[in-house]
Amino acid sequence: MAKLTKEQKERAIELLSDGLGPLKTCRELGVTHKEYFETISEDSIFEMAVARAQSIGFDVMADSLLEMNEHYGDVQKARLQSDNIKFILAKRKPQVYGDRIDINMTQTIDISAARAEALRRALPLRDSTNPQSIETRDVIEVQALESSDTPSVDPIENDPSKISSGSIFD
Q: Is the pLDDT of residue 142 over 70?
A: no
Nearest to 61 by CA among 19, 12, 16, 13: 19
Mean pLDDT, residues 96-106 taken together: 77
Query: Is there a single domain that holds both residue 83 and residue 120?
Result: no
Residue range 82-109: mean pLDDT, rounded: 83
In a domain, 1, yes or no: no
Reference 16, options 6, 27, 7, 24; nearest CA is 24
Considering the domain architecture, whether residues 83 and 145 belong to the same structural domain is answered as no
> Does a structural domain hold residue 166?
no
Rounded to an integer, what distance in angstroms lies between the CA atom of residue 57 and that of residue 12? 12
Give the pTM. 0.53
134-145: average pLDDT: 51
| Cα separation, 168 vs 156, whole angstroms | 17
Calculate mean pLDDT across residues 130-142. 51
Is residue 102 one of the residues assigned to a domain?
no
Residue type, 58: F
Flag whether 105 is in a domain.
Answer: no
170 occurs within a structural domain:
no
Residues 71 and 142 in one domain: no
The Cβ of residue 141 has, within 10 Å, a number of other Cβ atoms equal to 10
Q: Are 14 and 93 in the same domain?
A: yes
Domain count, the chain: 2
Q: CA of 72: how far to CAs of 58, 63, 67, 68, 105, in Å?
A: 20, 15, 9, 7, 44
**In this structure, are 24 and 77 located in the same domain?**
yes
Domain with 62 in it: what CATH number? Answer: 1.10.10.60
- Whole-number pLDDT of residue 52: 95
User: Does some domain include residue 78?
Assistant: yes
More reliable by pLDDT, 147 or 14: 14
Query: 80 and 130 share a domain?
Result: no
The answer on 43 and 14 residing in a single domain is yes
Instruction: Give residue 55's domain range.
Output: 6-97
Is 30 domain-assigned?
Answer: yes
Residues 89 and 17 in one domain: yes
